A and B are shown apart, each in its own frame.
Chain A
Amino acid sequence: MFSEEYYKNTMPKLKRYAMALVRGDTSKAEDLVHSAMLKVVEYINKNPDIVIKNLESFTIRVLKHIFLDGKRREKDDDDIDIDDIDPEDETLPSDALLAQKIEEALTKLKGICRLVFSLQAKGHDYKSTAEKLEKPLNTIKTNISRCRKDLRSELEKLGIGPELKEWFGNV
């Protein structure tokens, strides 16, 4: 698990997923990855006979649990119940599939949506997005709201609504 290969291959995926959950906050994302890895080690130590079919998938699920639990309780990850996670579950969000679907969905949106998303992805807040696009702040907010709804609708049409909810949902 924690071989060089693990660090090279899995840790980047964990961090990327954590970055999505915390919307680009590097420090929080690294905290999440750290907590998830430790939690998995602790779990394995306590349950030496359990076979984890896909360690990467399991760790990502643990990470998500920690994140959601932290959100719910507004405190650290100590209380997550790792036993709720099925060690035999091997499913993972498929990067390739997501990338393909989101690209497809984006092409169906208005140009302004692609611009807004692109600026948001680069870390622009509302104000600087409005300045960049030379539009009133309120218009930008409305655009963001509408574009997200449209994107979600397109993604659902493309059949990845459940994945979206499973991996990126929950308040």
Chain B
Amino acid sequence: MSDTWFDENIIAFVDGELSDDDLKKFEEQIKKDPTLQREVEEHQSVARLITYTSTPETPDELSLARMKKRFMAAYEDEIGRGARADHSIRLNLLQKKSTEKVRGLSKKIRWLPYIGISGIAASLFVFGFLSLETFNPPDISGMGTQNIYRGLASDPTTLEVDGDGFGLGVVYVSVRDSSVDGILENSPFKFKIFSPLSGKLNIFETTDPELETLVETNIDVIKGKSVTLPSVDAFTVTDMEKITFKFVFTSSELRVEKIKTFKVISRN
């Protein structure tokens, strides 16, 4: 067979333009001929690279939404089959940032990126839930009303700066209803924090005062607005009876702090 035949068929193969019959023949030929195989691969890789560099970095919203929905449905299917109905799936998705955190913390607390039984659905629930239009507006006097958020235990005001109070909530990733005034063991959660000032927030874990550990660093905060932390992944507490956090807010003029101790409540 001539070089032209090969050349034409290679590119037609790579570009999916061979007829079914020719495709079969050509595939047989590739299997037998390592040189041809290498040539096809070379064309293939260049063609893919061109497709890659000419594909927009951000797919259209519709495509992303479709993929997300489909993926969540796959998760729900697994739940439906009861395979993981004990809410015990722990996805130990340690990303670099989290790995660093693990090193810097007391061994008593594990900060794990986590997805529970409903996995994606659950973690999205948290985000979706927090962004609902019907969501009660934050009580900037300090979230003084208990249970204003579903799945969120709130703490009354104990710190005020010019009338804007510190507010603290615990939002669980995989527990939808909780009225506990503590932190559930092995239940990933995030803090929802309303800031009493505009500036920076640092959070320390201070259960053992001698082992004070910085767990969130220099988070930008705005007076009266909330931040949900950690922004990526979630916290999980294990093997502790209580845990204490110190929330330190600083602006150019002020430094205020709030210490909060939570009971750790076993789920057994």
Contact = CB atoms under 8 A, between A and B. Distances in A.
Nearest to B114: A1
B96 A170 contact: no
B196 interface: no
Interface in A52-109: 52-55, 93, 95, 98-99, 102
Contacts of A26: 63
Interface of A is mostly: helix
A148 B113 contact: no
Contact of A30 (B67, B123, B124): B67
Given A164-B45, A169-B44, 12 more contacts: A2-B71, A15-B67, A16-B52, A20-B55, A24-B51, A30-B66, A37-B71, A44-B91, A44-B92, A44-B93, A155-B46, A164-B49
A54 B113 CA distance: 13
B10 A145 contact: yes
Top-7 shortest CB links A-B? A121-B54, A20-B52, A168-B48, A1-B93, A168-B45, A2-B120, A169-B45
A38 interface: yes
Interface in B173-193: none
Contacts of B120: 2
A41 to B, nearest CB: 6
A12 B65 CA distance: 11
Nearest to B113: A1
A45 B10 contact: no
Interface residues of A, number: 61
B104 to A, nearest CB: 16
A136 B46 CA distance: 23
B45 A15 contact: no
B125 to A, nearest CB: 11
Interface of B: 4, 7-8, 10-12, 15-17, 30, 37, 40-59, 63-64, 66-68, 70-71, 74-75, 89-96, 99, 113, 115, 119-120, 123-124, 127, 231-233
A170 B43 CA distance: 10
Interface in A1-58: 1-5, 7, 11-13, 15-17, 19-21, 23-24, 26, 30, 33-34, 37-38, 41, 44-45, 48-55
Contacts of A33: 67
- Chain B interface SS verdict (over half): helix
A17 B53 CA distance: 9
Contact of B123 (A2, A50, A151): A2
A39 B123 CA distance: 19
B207 to A, nearest CB: 25
Nearest to A103: B53
A3 B50 contact: no
Contact of B64 (A12, A144, A151): A12
A99 B99 contact: no
Contacts of A3: 123, 127, 232-233
A51 B123 contact: no
Among A16, A122, A138, max chain B CB count under 10 A is at A16
